[in-house]
Structure 1
Amino acid sequence: MADAPFENMLAQMDRAKEYADVDDGIFERLKHPERTLKVTLPVELESGDVEVFEGYRCQFNSARGPFKGGVRFHPSVTQREVEALAGWMTWKTALVDLPYGGAKGGVICEPKELTDRDLERLTRRYTEGIRRMIGPETDVPAPDMNTNPQTMAWMMDTYSMYEGHTVPQVVTGKPLEIGGTPGRVEATGRGVSIVTGRLFEYLDRDLTDATVAIQGFGNVGSNAAKLLDEAGARIVATSDVTGAAYDPDGLDVDALDAHVAAGGLIDEYVAGTLRDVPTGDGDRNDDRDRSRWDAPEMLSNDELLTLDVDVLIPAAVEGVITEANVHDLRASAVVEAANGPTTVAADKVLSGRDVQVVPDILANAGGVIVSYLEWVQNAQEFSWPLETVNAELERRIGTAFDQTIEQYDEKDLPDLRTAAYTLALERTASAHEYRGLFP
């Protein structure tokens, strides 16, 4: 199972190769990461204990430019998972036509068990461990699962101390005060909402009052939920590790977001909502009033995936839609906010049922697009207003969506993932052809 994400990525590549104009020799190169570094990270915790952590940084492909990719802190991190994520970053940056390659980093840890001081020491130790690999023209990390602008600030500061001067463009996703760009935190969720809207336009359907289930209410899921809610869609379910809140009439997204932002969990939110429901005294008017206060119910994350909704947005971890549960899915479209949430076997089933799946390398590309915009601003030592950043995000991800649809329609491809991969593989292979093979 440790190799499952990487094997899934290779299977996605193989499926697209049949339709892509890519030389066999170059395609073979594209299946292998350029390098992966494993680092051992002894950290003195705030408790006084010393714990040894393990971390990775994979640089998958640099044919199109510097490596680019996030850093995640999670107990399930493995070398093979990091390599798969670095590969997906390669195809993502190529699809949205950014001058980057793909990379990814990860540390095996449980952030919930670490204090802020522990996380700072771990981040700085990890940065020192990989600092010979990274740099503003070499490899530019960014936030990912369980990392955030503060993590990037620690990484930037650590790298800058070794360089002897401030190097803001060594990472993206930083706080605004030290070179971050407005809109970066919301960028991935905003991209998901934009792509969902474009998909509905393509399908000639109305997004207003469409039902949406979102697995995962972290940074990406919550921002996508808020923006889709503002667009008129009905967010009927969302989840975290405790389970899913479900209300067929639509969740109060703003209230739920405020609860989670304050450190609350979804099961606590549902329990609190239930406590607020009036009990009435048996009078029919009381019953009628109570119906307006119906609280959401708790479902499991697995049950959320099988809800009868217009759009399912997996926004948590990889490998959640599989051959084992795909036949129970009732959503008419899937927008992949997470990386690698659908296995190839499940993909074939969804394609056979004409369920449109917007692939991760397109749907969640908003984050890397705005990371690129931050990197450019840092290099120019010039900042742009939020309106400019959001407009450029919408233009770039909209263009990538249109090109993917054009490829899908003109070549009569089996699904949107194959269309996206065909474009990404051809662009990366073309860069290899022009550059040649050294020495």
Structure 2
Amino acid sequence: MSTVYSDIVSSDLYTQQVKKLERVAQILSLDKDVVDSLSQPERVIQVKINIKGNDGTVKTFTGWRSQHNSALGPYKGGVRFSPNVTQTEVMALSMMMTWKNSLLGLPYGGGKGGIRVDPKSLQKDELERLSRGYVKAIYNYIGSDIDIPAPDLNTDPQIMAWFLDEYVKVSGKVDFASFTGKPVEIGGLSVREYSTGLGLSVITKSAAEKFMDGIEGKRVIIQGFGNVGYFAAKFIKEMGGKIIGVSDSKGGVINEEGIDADKLMEMKRSGETVSSYEGKKVTNEQLLTSDCDILIPAAIENVVNKANASHIKARMIVEGANGPLTADADEILRKMNVIVVPDILANSGGVVGSYVEWANNKMGEIVEDEEAKKLIISRMERAFSSMYSEHERRFSDYDLRTSAMAISIDRVVKASKLRGMM
């Protein structure tokens, strides 16, 4: 993807988020000055990072940290390494994190960061120097009570370990709660690895109980079999659901007898593709419109759109990815009476896992992994119940996505006004 095209895509993501905010603002009867305030991050930091490459040349990279809103607490959100990331993209994503954290009742505002880099083009030691350079450039603006970064696209526990170590060196603060998604040896929790997939499965189960008499025996298709898709499939099967279809970037498979997520993951780790699993071979496009009870798009954005929405056969869609449905698809599916559980709720298990890790670091490492898992499950169940109650009480004329955004934005506005920020 070219830089110019990337800028257009990222700018459009930000524009779409502002449009969604403006639509909800009308429902909540918010003044224009309130909307203008929420449309802009409180701070955007841009940094230049120079590192010495292994070939002796100096490599220059641009990074950002967008801190959208702190009315409910310190900023919280991941850092992505991508050749296509832009300032407007991290601005949009930080806004989305504000709404997500608010909806989940977490004591956080929204933040997001990124470095424009193809991490595959760097050797491990170069990647370490880049990671440390980023933290050295922004350390005055982060910390466990200010802004808590976490893994995101192309970042992982090792990068969080480098972040933490550099932060301690340059700030002089031995504060392990300043980053989440860390290795377990330095304050991380193993539950963080699967918390997004776990949360997604809990929301799927809760929604199935509300809208289709429970998850037991329901036929589920998951588009995207990475970390999130795998763990969602594993937990949904444990809850009584039946995984009949999955896919990765190279294609998918349908098996009405059921798909064993662990067996399929073993095949993937040995170099095979998802479509190597026994069953009917399908493309990603065919998988999305295959017959099922529940469809979980857990890969990339905009996969359900104006072109294919009318062909969806699922009774309910649970958004495992960020923005897998376009606005046109939303409208079509609404008319078809297909229930859509929005991403702002469905895929928020990751930040709940980060919250548990952050709180555990703050308290002095007193939570064990099994207790952490129970905390994530209870928090997700409570979030769904609270959201649906508010939906029925105040926003029953609207779909779940609109209700979820209205609830979260309303909380941020009230907190901002109480604090005198608006």
Same fold by TM (over 0.5)? Answer: yes
Deviation at 1:369, TM superposition (A): 1.3
2: CA distance between counterparts of 1:71 and 1:191? 21
Q: By how many angstroms is 1:177 displaced?
A: 1.0
Q: Determine the structure 2 residue equivalent to 1:332.
A: 315
- Which of 343, 346, 353 lines up with 1:370 in the alignment? 353
Q: 1:375 to 1:213 in 2, by over 3 A?
A: same
How many positions carry a matched residue from both structures? 413
Residue matched to 1:417 = 401
Give the whole-Å Cα distance in 2 for the aligned partners of 1:207 and 1:310. Answer: 10
Per-residue CA deviation, residues 133-181 of structure 1 (Å, 9 max, x unaligned), is 2111111001112222111111111111112343211101111110112
2:372 to 378, 389, 398: 389
Q: CA deviation at 1:305?
A: 2.2
2:415 counterpart residue number = 431
Match of 2:114, SS state, is: strand
Q: Which amino acid aligns with 1:172?
A: T
Partner of 1:157, secondary structure, is helix
Q: Name the SS for the 1:183 alignment partner.
A: helix
Q: Which amino acid aligns with 2:371?
A: T
Post-superposition offset of 1:200: 0.6
Task: Give the drift of 1:398.
Answer: 1.4
Equivalent positions of 1:287-326 (< 5 A) are 295-326=278-309
Looking at structure 2, the residues matched to 148 and 220 of structure 1 have their Cα atoms a distance apart, in angstroms, of 14
Q: Cα gap change, 1:78/1:212 in structure 2, threshold over 3 Å: closer, same or farther?
A: farther
Q: Are the aligned partners of 1:69 and 1:103 in contact in 2 as well (CA < 8 Å)?
A: yes
Q: Does 1:27 align with 2:35?
A: yes
**Pairing 1:398–2:405 present:** no
Deviations, residues 93-138 of structure 1 (Å, cap 9, x unaligned): 1111111100111222333443333332222222223223211111
Q: In 2 relative to 1, CA 158–166 (structure 1 residues): closer, same or farther, beyond 3 Å?
A: same
Listed as ranges, the gaps of 5+ residues in structure 2 are 1-7
Distance in 2 of aligned mates of 1:299 and 1:35: 45
Cα distance in 2 between the residues matched to 1:336 and 1:209: 20
- How far is the alpha carbon of 1:302 from its aligned partner? 2.7
- Stretch moving more, 22-31 or 180-189: 22-31
Q: Alpha carbon RMSD of aligned pairs, Å?
A: 2.1
Residues 51-90 of structure 1 mapped to structure 2, 5 A cutoff: 51-90=59-98
Partner residue of 1:408?
A: 391
2:204 is aligned with 1:221 = no
8 Å Cα contact 1:181-1:384 kept in structure 2: no
**Per-residue Cα deviation, 1:191-214 (whole angstroms, up to 9, x for no partner):** 000000000100142322322222
For structure 1, which segment, 65-74 or 402-411, has the greater mean C-alpha deviation from structure 2 after superposition?
402-411
Instruction: Calculate the TM-score normalised by the size of structure 1.
Output: 0.88
Report the equivalent of 1:192: 200
| AA at the equivalent of 1:333 | M
Check 1:122–1:212 CA distance in 2 against 1; reply closer, same or farther (3 A cut): farther
The equivalent residue for 1:285 is none
1:56 maps to amino acid: W
* Amino acid in structure 1 at the alignment position of 2:341: V
Q: Aligned partners of 1:239 and 1:45: how far apart in 2?
A: 38
Task: Please say if 1:167 is aligned against 2:175.
Answer: yes
Matched-pair identity in %: 40
Shift of 1:27: 2.6
Q: 1:17 to 1:222 in 2, by over 3 A?
A: same
Report the CA distance shift for 1:303/1:75 in structure 2 as closer, same or farther (over 3 A).
farther
Look at both structures and tell me which one has the larger radius of gyration over its CA atoms.
Answer: 1
* Higher RCO by CA contacts (8 Å cutoff, separation 6 or greater): 1
CA distance in 2, matches of 1:182, 1:61: 29
Q: Is the 8 A contact 1:242 1:265 kept in 2?
A: no
Of stretches 362-371 and 117-126 in structure 1, the one that deviates more from structure 2 is: 117-126
Q: Which runs of 4+ in 1 moved over 6 A?
A: none
Structure 1 237/378 Cα, relative in aligned 2: closer, same or farther at 3 Å?
A: same
Q: CA deviation at 1:350?
A: 1.5
Q: Is the 8 A contact 1:335 1:359 kept in 2?
A: yes
